[in-house]
Each structure stands twice: as structure tokens, then as C-alpha cells.
Structure 1
Amino acid sequence: MRRPVLLTLLAVAATALGAALAVTVPALADAASVTNPGFETGTLSGWNCDPTDSVVTGHARSGSYALAGAADGGSTAQCTQTVPVLANTSYTLTAQVNGSYVYLGITGGASTWTPGTSGGYSALSVAFTSGSATSVIIYLHGWYGQGTYYADDVALAGPAGNPSPSASPSPSPTASPSPTPTTPPGNGSFPNPIYLMPLENNPQNISTAISASGAKNYNLAFILDSGGCTPAWGGDPAHPVAGDTTVTGVVSAIRSAGGDVAVSFGGYNGTELGATCGGSGALAAAYQKVIDKYSLTRIDLDYEGDDLDANMAVRFGAIRVLQQNNPNLKVSLTIPATTVGFPDSGKDELRQAATAGARLDLVNLMAFDYGLTNASDQVTSVQLVAEAAKNQIKAVYGIDDATAWARLGLQLMNGHTDQPSELFTVDTFRSLLAYAQAKHVGWFSYWSLNRDRACDPGVPHNWADGTCSSVDQQPYDFSKVIAQYRG
């Protein structure tokens, strides 16, 4: 069965800048000072940088030199510097950056980023208040696998602090540990999407479902190839995306109710577009047709069966093209679970996405159909599998626990699953809702709305039927639980 499952200075005139700063920063003779702000020493002196960072010519925004940060699959190419400040004082940090997914910020404080600068320099600017601190660590970095970024003309607007030995920047790249990398922008306002097959498995009226359950976010499944690299619902030639009106109406109803949708490509059955479209360009064009048709800002990639960890250079190459052409596009990758978290093939997909420069905003764990662990109950079993997956994300990306949880999606299945040893009741969902809230996972989801009703006892049903849950329940009981999750 299936689950068919992210330093022009702020562009204002000098007089306007002075006026703005006068509001929040005292007009003192001594201004805060960043050491080697334009890298014009021709070295990284004053900065504490990753080994992949260097100073180069030919890419400067002003002067002769610029920072070059080579963000590869294992590094964000971070540079930091400790700068003395006055306590309880307002400052504005700015820099000129050039590249994809460049971050500017204060360790443990405010930050900002750009998804891309269209081939030239642009400004990043972030305001902050020092609080009780007498020094701050400023940073610049890229993101895993996004390639080389350039930075120049770093500045900190505000009054000078009082340097002390502990606050002086160290020229040694290994003198102090780099701050934890800032996570990409994440999944945003989509914390509880329910999977829905809008044309298969006897879908409910979506307006009725929203009104009854309060659930407003949905992952619509699945887009497959109907032949010749043609996106269609369920891969059915009778339901090509290009001529669709039915799903368009579903999308409109969801958005009119204040919700949003993602579209999921793949699933367990049928032919996924990445297997037949040829190169990354053709595949990106096929995906783009779906994005344009439904004005999507989110897509979900569900590579299962023989598509799992297959043809990844083409698939993730296409996703990178899509993200370049759609800077606000959020991408989730769905991976089946095992009793020890993600399979090795799933972990390899994460690495290959980074190598290809494809950003994954969320990694969705299908926490069902793996067979129970040695835990005595379904809730504990899912918790063990989710913890393992979190640790795997943490290891692949080199991030901390909280960031790893925020990038992990937890997807359940209501009622009977394909594994007879598994059973998710409404009470199971409630217990796992509390767990998801405690961990602040990236999303809390389930397969599927089509099953959120009791089975008709007068009609034969499969063990894990696609149109009902096979457990005692009232309509939309499971969706009501998912709707409560806020991240």
C-alpha cells in the first residue's frame, strides 16, 4: 500500500544614516571598530575563520581584497571576530556579501541572511542591543554545500567599547571554537501539514474537513510521470497537472480558509519524474510546471522504493535550479524510517543534497511501517526512532540538538499501518503530540486525511485501507490532534 508518502551597507545616504543612528546611538567621537573590516591586509588577521576561508583578489566590492568562504558539504565557511562594545547600547552590524545563503549576525543574538545575491554584492544589516555584554562575537558564514561566498566592508555602527585582553580578537584560526552554525530559515508557518490524496482514495470535501478539524495545512500527494516527463496526479494520463481544475479548487479552498499547501512528488507507487525526465534541467522544468500551476512556495520530495538514493545528482541538481529560480521555495525531503532511524540510503541522500548545493529546509521521517522496535508500546517506539533520526541529522550537518529537532519532521500514520505490529490510536497521536511539542520538531504530520474516518463494517476493507483507519474513531479525530501542533 502507500502512503501512496537559507553588506552594501544599508542603502541610504550618509546624511540619512547619521540621522537614523542619532536616534539610538550616542554621537561619540570613538566609534565601534571591526579589525580588518575589508580584508585589506590581504590576510585574515583579526578574524577567526574556518580552514576553508581565505582572502582573495578579483572579487572585492571595494579596495583590493575580499573574504572568500568555500562552503562545502562539511563546512559553512564561518569567520568570527570579537568586538568590544558598551553595555546596554544599540548597534547595527552591516556587511556586503555576494553568494548563496550568506549569514551575518551576533553569536547568541540577532542574525540575518540572504538566499542569493544574483551574481553581485548586496547589503546585509542587523540591529541589536548589547544588553549586559561588553563584547560581542560577530560572524559571517555560508551554508553547507552552497559554494563559495564573498564578503567585504564589514562595519559596526555604534560607540566604541573598552577593549580588554579577554575581548581582543585572536588572529589564530583555532584559538576559540566557532559558534554553532545558524540553521537555514526552516519550515516556517507550516507546522502541521496533513497528507491528502486529492483525487484518489475517496477524498473528503476539503472545506468540510477544515471546518470540522481546524486543520488548515496539507501536503497533496502525489505527482508522478504520466509519460514523456509529464507531471500528473498519481501518474494518471487522465489527470495531467496542466489541465487540472479539481485540485486547483482544493488548493483555493484551503487558502481561502487561511491555510496553505505543499505538493509531494513521488510516493511508493508509479514512476517518479526524476527517473524519466533525463537531466536536471528537464526535471526542474517539470517540477516548475507544478509550482507555477498551484503558486507553490513548498514542495515535498518522497523518494521511495527503487527511487530511494537513486539518480540523486539529477534530482538534487534540479532542486538547486528550482531554488535559484524560486528563492522563497521551501523543500522537504521525506525518508522512510527503520528501527534505528534513517536507513543508510536516506543518510546518503542528505549528503548528496549538500554536495549538489540543494538546500533541505526539513527532513521528514516517516515514523511508521518500520516494524516496532523492542519498545513495548507504539509511543515509545516512535520516540526512539525519532531520537535516532535527530542524532543522524545532527551528525550529518554538524548542528546542535535544538537545531536538529527543528529540521526534523515527524510523520505518523493513523490506525492500522502496513506493519501488523504497529497501531496508532487517537491516544497514541495525543501522546506523540506532547512529545513533538516538547522537542519542537519542524513539523508534526500524518498519513492521511483520506483515512481519518472509521471503516464501514458492511464493506470489505484491506488491513491498512487507504480510505479509513480500521480503528474506532469519530470523523477527523486524528486531524484534530495534528491541528493542535504549533512547533
Structure 2
Amino acid sequence: MTLTGKRRRPAPLVAALAVTALAVGTLAATAGPTLAATGTHPADTTQLLGNASFESGLSGWNCAASDQAVTSPVADGSHALSGTPTASDTAQCAQTVSVRPNSSYTLTARVQGSYVYLGATGTGGTDPSTWTSSAGWTTLSTSFTTGASTTSVSVWVHGWYGEGTFGADDVALTGPAGAGGTPTGPTSPTGPTSPVTPADGGFTHPVYLMPLDNSPQSVSDIVSGSGEKQFLLSFVLDSGNCTPAWDGDSTQTVASDTTVLADIQAIRAAGGDAGVSFGGYNGTELGATCGSSAALAAAYQQVVTKYGLTHVDLDWEGDDLDANMALRWGAIKILEQDNPGLTVSLTIPMTTVGLPDTGKDEISQAIADGARIDVVNIMDFDFGLTSGTETAAAETVADDVNTQLQSLYGWDSATAWAHTSIQLMNGHTDQPSELFTQDTFNALLAYAQGKHAAALSYWDVNRDRACDPSVPHNWADGACSSVTQDPWDFTKIITQYNG
């Protein structure tokens, strides 16, 4: 994130004004191991949900006030679920069932409507979800493996804020029955105050890593030394003629890359995942040179396809802030349509009072163009510390963003937090007035945990080591923290975050 580290930062931004509406989605499905992989046999598989086709109304389900069982339209039988989300409620319907630890399950449903989501929480691992938009009935499916101590999970289906009525039918959770043998029934409250699933629930603490710059550590060393298995690899830029390349280097094009691909394969082999960040403070972002939304979407798609991505981060900074927005969001809309499981985060530099005008404009344009933003990733540093402590200042900025999102979109606080990622910077930042120590990180970990933010992240792993005192270093060096530390101190703290 540093200027010396080919990421950042301009001078502190001026105070921001009101924010405009934000469209968000939820995390794409994460497939679990096969039945054979966990020793679960097909003979153990059964449908675990009660009243799965809503033939007995909403009995056995915990649903929002607007949900109802209707006789038309239906996918099968005589009834189906119909939900109508509002500006502050997704019209979720959920059911809690008994399951077995260390076992594989498949969740399916027939759905119709705009932005219909299906998923499960409390699985003890990566909670899965998937979504679609369809005028007619279509099947959604995802799977997961329960944790070693998991004995129940909550499965749910819902629409999206203000996106119109949706339908669901034939919901099925198949796998080995738990000790209870039958559904345990609803356990959570209904309506807008229901627990909110984070927008990127399976990617709760991705740390940034520059895999080809700033003396990167090996992925195997990071994983073994810190336990971190979630990464945002940075940055893909334009090396000329709308050609995606790492750091914008024509010798490191995505098309010819083998090094980063091997890193991603190693991360996944360790049980983790990686996303890719486009942009940064330096270099030429693809949206500045690709001449159309279609061309930009094709460039982004090349990266998504190359690495099999389900997470992308849009880090538009410097001259790219609030620039070519119609072209950029037109491209993201195409990308989302072509990759329905893709999660998109928008990274925005902060002011002392939250979102800058440029960030608000970006969100407003996304809404106008029908592009979905799943997570707003706030760069909670480099705004300059004018008084108080670094911890208090970072909390105030994040609180301001939360209040802004509530007022602009009609959300309650929990919903706004569920779509906000807090990004920190370890050690010296680009602003000499700022310093993030291990104690600062620990305090902000507790803060984010209490808010149930979508994610807690930081820039960056390359800097998670002490500087060599015998060698001159920049104030915010790209390859070390400039503070006293042991290797992986900051990453170990971030990795503890679980939402």
C-alpha cells in the first residue's frame, strides 16, 4: 500500500459529504470435499429438512414477516415460498437442522427472481452460499463439510434489498442425519433484526501480498509461519494495449504467468483461497486504457479464468478514483453476469470522516449501472492522525462509514457492518503521524470482532518483518514494517479474525 511499495498513498483526503446508495451481494458457493473424501457413504445420505416444499405453509421455518407460502408460482407440488425484500430486509427464511461432525452435505433449491441466495451458516468451516437471477425456476446448489464439533447448521434462502419478490421451492439438505435425526426447528429471530451473514463470509481475513515485488516471502513460509491461508494478490495492471500483467510489467503478463499460478495452487492445496486486486496507487489500471466496457470485462475475465477466481478487488486509486466510471462499472456488470459466483470488493481510501466524495460517486455510478458491490473495503489508514490514539482514530473512521451506509441505504448497523471490510497497514504508514503497532492491531481485531464486519485485512504480508538496521530504509518501506517485531506478528493477529 505504500508509494515505495507500489501501492499508495496521496496526501490525506478532505472531509466527505453524504453517501449514495450501495448495492451488495453475498459470497459465491464454496464446494466442500466429496463424500468419499470424508468417509461418508451414500447410504448415509438423506433429506434433512422438514416441510422442504412449503406444503405445510411456513411450519418449521423461521421467516421474515413478508414471507408466505403461495399456490402460484410453484416449481413443484401445490405450494412454494414467496418473499418480498424491503430496503432493510432480505426476506430470509431459515431452518436449523442436526448434522454430523466431519461430514459432507449438499444444499439445493429451486428458485426464481432477481438476486436469490441460498446458503448455510454455522458449518464449522467455510460457510457456503450461492445466488442467481432468473425469470423462471432454476436450481441453486452448493455443498460443505462440517467441522469436528459441528452438530447443527442453519440453512437459509433469501432475496436482496429492494430487488423484488422471489420464489423458492424444493429446498433440500442431503447428507448423514445428526444425533437429533430430525430438524430442530427455527432458533433465530425474524425480521430486519435477524443475524446478518457477512457478504464475504468465507473470506474473512484475506491479507494482501505482492507475489512478484517487494521481496515476497514464499507462500509455504507464510502459511506455516502465520497460519494465514487467505490472500489478495496485488496488483494486476495494464502493460499496454489493455493487456493484464502483474505490476503492469510486460515481462509478467497474466497470459504467460506460471509463478503466481503456482502460488495460488499452493494456497488452495493448503486449504485456503486467493483473490486478485486490480489497481493500486501506481501504474496504469486497465480501466484507464481499455476502450470499452466489453474490452475491460474481457481483460478482467482473462485474470478470473486464468486463476479460477471467486474473489476480485477493485483498488482504483490516484488518477483512477472516480474516473471512467460508466466504462468500469459496465465492465463489472458484464463480469458478474458471466461469473455468477464472483465476489467483488471495492477498495476506497478514507478521509477523517469516512468515505470521500470520489468513493461516494463510484458507488452511485455502480448503482446506476446495475453493477453489484459485495464488500466495501475501507483503507482505514493514511488519513493522518491529528489527535488521540491510532486505535481510536481508526475506529471513528469505520464508525463514520457505518453510519453513512445506514443513512444512505436504510440498513440497520449490523447489515452495514456485514458489507464492510476494515483494512489496516502494519508499522509505519505513508503518513508520518500514523503508527500501527501489534497492540493497535490487537485492539482493532477486538473492535472488528465486536462489530461483525465482513472482513479484517491489512497491507501487507511483504512488510510483516523487521527491517535490517544495517541497510537504509524508506519511512514506509515496502518490504518491512519499520517497527520492532518478530516475523509474522501482524499476520498472526489478522488471521484470528472470524467475523
TM-score, with length taken from structure 2 = 0.69
Partner of 1:383: 395
Partner of 2:489: 477
Partner of 1:216: 229
> 2:327 and 2:200 mapped to 1: Cα distance?
24
> 1:121 and 1:248 mapped to 2: Cα distance?
37
Post-superposition offset of 1:48:
7.2
Tell me if the contact between 1:274 and 1:314 (Cα under 8 Å) persists in the aligned partners. Answer: yes
Post-superposition offset of 1:70:
11
- Call closer, same or farther: CA 1:361–1:22 in 2, change over 3 Å: closer
- Call closer, same or farther: CA 1:410–1:32 in 2, change over 3 Å: closer
Deviates more, 1:209-218 or 1:263-272: 209-218
Secondary structure in structure 1 of the residue aligned to 2:236: strand
Counterpart selection for 1:368 from 375, 381, 393: 381
- Call closer, same or farther: CA 1:114–1:441 in 2, change over 3 Å: closer
Partner of 1:4: 7
Post-superposition offset of 1:412:
0.6
> 1:298 and 1:455 mapped to 2: Cα distance?
32
Counterpart selection for 2:209 from 193, 196, 203: 196
Counterpart selection for 2:114 from 95, 100, 111: 100
Equivalent residue runs for 1:37-52 within 5 Å: none
**Structure 1 stretches of 5 or more lacking a match?**
7-19, 35-46, 50-58, 63-67, 82-93, 106-111, 126-137, 157-177
Q: Which letter does structure 2 place at the counterpart of 1:416? A: H
Counterpart selection for 2:271 from 258, 273, 289: 258
> 2:217 and 2:92 mapped to 1: Cα distance?
53
Post-superposition offset of 1:33:
9.3
Secondary structure in structure 1 of the residue aligned to 2:132: coil
> 2:458 and 2:91 mapped to 1: Cα distance?
40
Partner of 2:423: 411
Tell me if the contact between 1:78 and 1:141 (Cα under 8 Å) persists in the aligned partners. Answer: yes
Counterpart selection for 1:207 from 220, 236, 245: 220
Equivalent residue runs for 1:382-461 within 5 Å: 382-461=394-473
Structure 1 residues 35-57: Cα deviation after superposition (integer angstroms, max 9, x where no partner): xxxxxxxxxxxx979xxxxxxxx
Partner of 2:177: none
Structure 1 residues 309-342: Cα deviation after superposition (integer angstroms, max 9, x where no partner): 1111111121111111111111111000110011
Tell me if the contact between 1:69 and 1:142 (Cα under 8 Å) persists in the aligned partners. Answer: no
Partner of 2:200: 187
- Call closer, same or farther: CA 1:191–1:204 in 2, change over 3 Å: same
Partner of 1:463: 475
Partner of 1:300: 313
> 1:275 and 1:430 mapped to 2: Cα distance?
38
**Structure 2 stretches of 5 or more lacking a match?**
9-24, 26-45, 60-64, 68-72, 77-81, 94-107, 120-127, 142-155, 172-190
> 1:208 and 1:33 mapped to 2: Cα distance?
51
Equivalent residue runs for 1:3-402 within 5 Å: 4=7, 6=25, 32=57, 75=87, 98-102=112-116, 115-122=131-138, 141-143=159-161, 151=166, 179=192, 186-374=199-387, 376-402=388-414
Q: Which has the larger radius of gyration?
A: 1
Partner of 1:87: none
Partner of 2:187: none
Tell me if the contact between 1:216 and 1:260 (Cα under 8 Å) persists in the aligned partners. Answer: yes
Structure 1 residues 424-473: Cα deviation after superposition (integer angstroms, max 9, x where no partner): 11111111111111111111111011111111111111111101111111
RMSD: 3.8
Query: Greater RCO between the two (CA within 8 Å, min separation 6)?
Result: 2
TM-score, with length taken from structure 1 = 0.71
- Call closer, same or farther: CA 1:440–1:179 in 2, change over 3 Å: closer
